[in-house]
Amino acid sequence: MVTPGRVELEVENIPARAEEEWMAPEEEDRMGVTFFLCDSRVQDVASYWKLESAGWQTAANDFMRADETITAESRSLVAGAPGPLEKLKALYDRAQRVENLSYVPDLAARGRKS
C-alpha cells in the first residue's frame, strides 16, 4: 500500500529456509526488497529519463571540467604544432605518459598515497 510520504510492505506465508546439502550460502539466497525513490517531478517514463539524463550530463561536465594546470599544460604542448593533427599527436603522446596508479601491480608494496 502506498500513501504520500509512506510505503508499507506486508508479507505472509514466507517459508523458512530449509538447509540442504550443496546449497548456496544464506546471504546469496536471501529474499529482499529494493526501493527506488524518484524525484517528485517524475510523472511518466519520459520525464524520468529527461531528469536522469540531465543529472548524468551535469556529472559528466563536472568530471570533464579542466582545471588551470591541465589547460596550461595542454596549451604548452600544442603551442608549436602547425596543424590539428600535430596538436592531437602531442596531446596523445602526453596522455600515454600518464601512469594509471589503479593498475600498477606492485603499488601496494611501494605504498599507496591517498
Helix (H, G, I), strand (E, B) or coil at 75: helix
Is the Cβ–Cβ distance between 47 and 41 less than 8 Å? yes
- Residue 9 pLDDT grade (very low, low, confident, very high; cuts 50, 70, 90): confident
Q: Where are the alpha helices (DSSP H) in 20-99?
A: 26-29, 45-64, 68-78, 84-96
Whole-number Å distance between alpha carbons of 77 and 56: 31
Is the full-model pTM beyond 0.75? no
Q: Stretch 30-49: mean pLDDT, rounded?
A: 83
Cβ atoms within 10 Å, residue 90: 17
Q: Stretch 39-57: mean pLDDT, rounded?
A: 89
Helix (H, G, I), strand (E, B) or coil at 6: strand
